[in-house]
Structure 1
């Protein structure tokens, strides 16, 4: 059976491929549950929203076994999620991403949690628990969401404390590599006007990348927990206050680099130095690090949301948030059983944000206006020990210049070559260590508005505009040293013109929605997205570095889509798009240092989502995404310019599938499910080097579950990557030194028991 609701324009269904909450029912039929989304900052049926959006509920994620931010990638057409160690997660939508690992950069695919923008990429990774739904919006979302959402956004919405009746659940899972987790929540009324909810998740497990050296742990493990407490208070009949506090901690998680490739693309055994030239993987699930790295992270987020009906159909919303995060990360950067490069980063991050919105509607119009403020303060320190090459622009073994009277030290590129043994000069060690620190202060304010006007019963015009102002300042200090020698300052970048960014620009939206019939919505849109500039900070930065600061990027998006119910048992959503990038921010490792350069780029493609229910017991979902991208000019790992490359993590096609059959048995409901995704050839870095090339692959998962007749408990057996596919999810090209890669988990079996009350 299909649950439906009545919308303003007749019967509508939540038809996106990922709006399925495939849950067991007392009847023999599977249930298609609707998902209400807030893609336009107001609640709407997904099929009424003229935006390319995929959304799925918390119940569906449980059915699919999704427990963290990276696992949604296989169920959203056009989405790729890459993780390099536990510290950074990057989202790629339609090939748009910031495929980097530096602490100070923000992503073009914005991430929101309960209406709050997460400004630090370090705070994006984490466990999902007690989730109401997840929304994935493709394309620029600048007018309503604003902050850096050029490529789209991911919005995680937690289950709130609105239930009066006491309710909750407990989930317990065990799986391979000694992995185990427990998750639960309880909520209900605390008094006549106050409701509460408390939820938590804990997870621990050994890694799947085994260590070959004694005293070193496996990589890919988990050790962390998360807590969230919520209150919902009825201040008066027209005012509701939602309060939330969330705390997450990752504790002593093993880290390291592994799977070393040669510059030509061959997989190399680091212990023998031998490999082949066809990208064959020698040992994808072993690492040879002699140094045991680890990762610690703590994050706290406090949010207050005030919603007030102010009369005459007007609603006022205020969202206030404070977030802080501390991170310590250290690893063996070379992945070899020798002391070559060890890498350590320390990050302290704070952000405060405030958003005000006022919305209203009449018979033919719906509108909202708002203002937004964001203040981010972050300190980053990076220590790289064992660099055999250049430091601060000075070749190893060279003579570096002296300091200026004000303490600023000019790098080698700023100084005429001194004579050997020149007075007050300093010698760059042959095996140096760099230690640089960054203080970044970023403030943003914006005002925005959107208007929907019904031109007729079937035609709606949507216009939106946002003005955004960025003010940023950075202080950068770079020092170096060697064994038994004191650290010396080699570069100070402070108080110079390139230390500040003063940037104002606008995001815009023009869209036409045509209700072709009660079952079909057709939409055409133009969106202008913006993303502010930033800095490339690394050990090679000097006052004269030409691309120390990179420019802002602008994306012009053109889109045409349809959402339709073909029959009572078949629904289809499809979109085609064209992106015109100006000053695309392309990240690459250039000369062994992370660097962002600006280049124009284009992307064109489309997505198709299809849902079929051929019988009471069957459900099928299909998705397909096509992508064709080109970047004008980027620089490879050796600093050479190259043109016509593809965007990273942008396969020419990707497809996903889910098939589910359920039947009544023993007073309850049994279900079996097979789902998977296939990806075409792609490059993992914008340099498109041989070593970053990833051949096409597919991943399949299976699940069998039994739910009791009263739906109070459920047991499931599941397997992920059942064909044991070997594929990479991240690659770091080191030029002549080769590259290190990170592989996705192998075949993985587990079981989950759930109890609801």
Structure 2
């Protein structure tokens, strides 16, 4: 098996030493404190967790210039983050597993995203600004037991700071950068009653001009920033055995749409970071939510936890998708979201056994109204409306059993039942210019047959239902050496519920539920640190048997079909390390090797077996340092450079293959190998930090997303450029 080459490479590194050779999965803290994570729904040192986990603290995120969830890929191996909407509705791809080329808002991410252990169903809410965080935990590989809902790829948990119940503190930070970007954030925490009650409030604001220049006379610049977010946390500890955290948050984004490279005739003479577009739309999103986390220690061995949440939001994305001064393709993506979740969890620690188990219920609703203006004679297009409601029920449990003082066995299982209802659906063909009232002329949903052949019926509706049941779980053996190093081997099974095609609007024939996807994952890992704590290290090798990946197939019409890729294979090797060779210098490095291919896939009559999975570069890596250079004027000057590398990747399952007889040019839907350089220089004392930064220092020109539109009947492909060089300065005061 080709994947065994990576396993042999991992074994050779493990055999070299059980105390000082290999690479790490999370960067070491600046002091000697352990990194504590909750990757297994209980507090553990990161080095004791038999999983591939990257943990990034709030300070580390700031040092690396990561201010938005869409930038996390620069710090986590084999994590790609792409979107046709810029930072809005990001698509997370871990180890090759993601939503592939899917762009509709109703699909669940196979990389589960959590905010303080609360699952966030709408992908629009995943594009959050990162502020006042305790840490971010990225769990790579299927999480089919403790984070079980739709996590075939992994899970990302954003963990916010909570009140300490002692004293008062806070900070204020102001910043200014190129593109006229002003930023402000801060937090204030106060103790209402020592050891009993405390409250913390945090806010984040950013506003800046578009990062891509629009040469169209009077046109707005794409990729602007206009963000405001706030969070309020109340912590109550009425007794030693009861801990309550109440959290409320809200936020909105009002930036302009992501830039598009489209119709080639209007790209002549333009720089990569320029466009010629008559209708630059807005990326309007809102998100809000409430949660209550209540923990009760029933005994010194048994704790019960209840997590209740209610969240909502909306998106109104106005996207000129042709990148030209012509009205070729203008889309308005509108959706309203609501979700509720309840988890009851028990944590037990006894003699030789640690157990986590519980019940989960989740509900989410998506009401969508999309409008597609196309170059039809006369001017017109399609309007689409539908409602999607999903419910998920699960019972789960995982036990860590000490077989000996050094050897542990992990057994976990989760039974899930998912139901989904797609209803109140209709779509019609209309006549009307962009921005003008539309005049319906034909029903397309419900309508089986050629678009435009069914008479318009305002009362016609379409509905479907689906349900899935799945048993997933985890088996692992882990061995702790006398040095503290951990060696583990595991099998995990992940599951993602079946889905309906949210992109079906030209005909009912394109709307149906497809099969759930599954991943059988095998992993071998090794992590630890040297006795002198100079080196923290870990390495993991993995092999995935991946079935029924859900991806989008865009066909002439334009018609979108959601389909399953029957069989795929993914395997690779990952490593991270933090080295502190001398006082004041911390070097961090990571890399990911990834091989992926469709073992069985046919789209539009074209055999794609052997093609690579989309958004799966074969090599990713980063190398950075934090160097405390010198003491000046009572403060410390620090330098933090960072280089991020990714080899070539494809944006389409077709890779460079075209359908015979079609106008496709799929070779355009790719990004070649590239390296991005970032850096920061700071001065800080006990209360003040002044930081200058530059991201993408050498202004590398790269694409983040691409979609086949030539094959759908348009005379161009859709490509989204990544951000150009950004730089600025910030001042932070802690009190």
Which residue of 1 is the match for residue 426 of structure 2? 477
**Equivalent of 2:621, from 646, 655, 680?**
655
CA 445–496 in structure 1, closer or farther in 2 if over 3 Å, else same = farther
Q: In structure 2, what is the equivalent of residue 590 of structure 1? A: 555
1-structure distance, mates of 2:461, 2:469: 20
User: Which consecutive residues of structure 1, in runs of 5 or more, have no partner in the other structure?
Assistant: 1-10, 23-30, 262-267, 275-281, 389-428
Q: Secondary structure at the match of 2:228?
A: strand
Tell me the alpha carbon deviations over residues 492-546 of structure 1, each in whole angstroms, 9 at most, x when there is no partner: 289999811111111110000011223310000000000001111335453444x
Q: Hey, what does 1:644 align to over in structure 2? A: 610
Task: Tell me the equivalent position of 1:672.
Answer: 639
Match for residue 491 of structure 1 among 445, 461, 478: 445
Task: Report SS of the residue matched to 2:668.
Answer: helix
Equivalent residue of 2:294, what SS? strand
Task: State the distance in 2 between where 1:168 and 1:102 align.
Answer: 40
Question: Does the aligned pair in 2 maintain the 1:659–1:674 contact within 8 Å?
Answer: yes
- 1:739 equivalenced with 2:693 (yes/no): no
Distance in 2 (CA, whole Å) between partners of 1:594 and 1:700 is: 38
Give distance in 2, aligned partners of 1:610 and 1:120.
Answer: 34
2:271 aligned to 273, 283, 293, which one? 283
- 1:323 match: 311
Q: Distance in 1 between matches of 2:318 and 2:170?
A: 39
Structure 1 residue 574: Cα displacement: 0.3
User: Which residue does the alignment assign to 1:692?
Assistant: 669
RMSD of aligned residue pairs (Cα, Å) = 2.3
Paired positions, count: 679
Residues 591 and 620 in structure 2, CA contact (< 8 A), matched pair in contact too: yes
Aligned to 2:537: 572
Q: Is the partner of 1:517 in helix, strand or coil?
A: coil
8 Å CA contact 1:256–1:335 kept in 2: the answer is: no
Is 1:368 the counterpart of 2:359 in the alignment? no
Residue deviations 1:212-238 (CA, integer Å, cap 9, x gap)? 112321111110100111111123331
Task: Please give the secondary structure, in 1, of the residue aligned with 2:582.
Answer: coil
Q: Distance in 2 between matches of 1:462 and 1:531?
A: 23
Question: Deviation at 1:163?
Answer: 3.6
Please give the per-residue CA displacement for 1:143-195, whole angstroms capped at 9, x wherever unaligned.
00111011001110000122421001111111100011100000021134221
Q: What is the match of residue 453 of structure 2?
A: none
Alignment of 1:534-573 (within 5 A): 534-540=499-505, 542-545=507-510, 548-566=512-530, 568=532, 569-573=534-538
The answer to whether residue 327 in structure 2 is matched with residue 355 in structure 1 is no
Instruction: Deviation per CA, 1:229-279: give whole Å up to 9, x if none.
Output: 11111233311211110001112x211552127xxxxxx34265x9xxxxx
1:433 alignment counterpart = 381
Query: 2:290 maps to which residue?
Result: 302
The answer to whether the 8 A contact 1:17-1:609 is kept is yes
Distance in 1 (alpha carbons) for counterparts of 2:304 and 2:152: 27
- Which residue of structure 1 lines up, in the alignment, with residue 369 of structure 2? 381
Q: Following the alignment from structure 1 to structure 2, what is the Cα–Cα distance between the partners of residues 79 and 498?
A: 36
CA separation of 1:503/1:387 partners in 2, compared to 1, >3 Å: closer, same or farther?
farther
After superposition, residues 169-180 of structure 1 pair within 5 angstroms as 169-180=171-182
| Aligned partner of residue 88 in structure 1, secondary structure | coil
What SS does the corresponding residue of 1:190 show, helix, strand or coil? Answer: strand
How far off is 1:487 after superposition? 4.2
Is the aligned partner of 1:706 residue 2:683?
yes
From 582, 592, 596, the counterpart of 1:625: 592
| Aligned equivalent of 1:717 | 692
SS at match of 1:548: coil
CA distance in structure 1 between the partners assigned to 2:379 and 2:503 by the alignment: 17
Partner of 1:51: 51
Instruction: Note the C-alpha offset of 1:309.
Output: 0.4
3-state DSSP of counterpart to 2:298: strand
Alignment of 1:20-99 (within 5 A): 20-22=28-30, 31=31, 34-85=34-85, 86-99=87-100
**Equivalent position to 1:749, from 714, 721, 727:** 727
2:149 maps to which of 147, 150, 156: 147
Deviation per CA, 1:682-705, whole angstroms, max 9, x where unpaired?
A: 112222120112110001111111
Asked if the contact 1:177–1:208 (Cα under 8 Å) also holds between the matched residues in 2, the reply is: yes
Asked if residue 226 in structure 1 is aligned to residue 229 in structure 2, the reply is yes
Contact 2:222 2:280 (8 Å CA) reproduced: no
State the distance in 2 between where 1:630 and 1:179 align.
Answer: 42
Query: 1:50-108 CA distances to partner (integer Å, 9 max, x unpaired)?
Result: 00000011111122222111222111111111132243111111111113220110010
Deviation at 1:440, TM superposition (A): 0.7
Matches within 5 A, 1:398-547: 431-475=379-423, 476-483=425-432, 485-492=439-446, 499-540=464-505, 542-545=507-510
Distance in 2 (CA, whole Å) between partners of 1:169 and 1:618 is 26
Kept in 1: contact 2:445–2:462 (CA 8 A): no
C-alpha change, 1:675 and 1:532, in structure 2 (3 Å) is same
The 5 Å alignment of 1:66-215 reads 66-85=66-85, 86-99=87-100, 100-192=102-194, 193-215=196-218
Partners of 2:504 and 2:350 lie apart in 1 by 58
Q: TM-score, normalized by length of structure 1?
A: 0.86
Q: Is the 8 A contact 1:20 1:60 kept in 2?
A: no
Mapped partners of 1:610, 1:660: distance in 2: 13
Q: Residues of 1 paired with 2:547 and 2:181: CA distance? A: 45
Match 1:249 to one of 247, 252, 258: 252
Q: Against the structure 1 CA distance between its residues 499 and 605, is the aligned structure 2 distance closer, same or farther, given a 3 Å change threshold?
A: same
Instruction: Name the counterpart of 2:451.
Output: none
Cα distance, 1:218–1:686 mapped onto 2, change above 3 Å: same
Question: 1:557 Cα shift?
Answer: 0.1
The answer on whether the counterparts of 2:26 and 2:578 sit within 8 Å (CA) in structure 1 is no
- Structure 1 position 21, deviation (Å): 4.5
**SS where residue 96 of structure 1 aligns?**
coil
Moved more, 485-494 or 430-439: 485-494
The structure-2 alpha-carbon separation of the partners of 1:473 and 1:346, relative to structure 1 and needing over 3 Å to count, comes to: same
Measure the CA separation in 2 of the matches of 1:640 and 1:477: 31
Residue pair 2:25, 2:52 contacting (<8 A) in 1 also: no
Indicate if the aligned counterparts of 1:258 and 1:286 stay in contact, CA closer than 8 A: no
Contact 1:537–1:548 (Cα < 8 Å) also in 2: no
Note the alpha carbon deviations across 1:295-346, whole angstroms, 9 max, x for none.
2222111001100001151000000000011221112121111111110111
Q: Is the 8 A contact 1:588 1:635 kept in 2?
A: no
CA distance in 2, matches of 1:362, 1:17: 29
CA distance in 2, matches of 1:221, 1:257: 10
Counterpart of 1:418?
A: none
Mapped partners of 1:633, 1:586: distance in 2? 14
- Alignment partner of 1:60: what SS? helix
Conserved? CA contact 1:587–1:686, under 8 Å: no
Equivalent pair of 2:539/2:576 in contact (CA under 8 Å): yes
SS in 1 for 2:193: coil
Q: Deviations over 1:447-489 (max 9, x none)?
A: 0000110000110000000000011110221111113744432
Contact 1:498 1:549 in 2 (8 A): no
Which ranges of structure 2 fall in alignment gaps of 5 or more residues? 1-18, 433-437, 448-458, 656-665
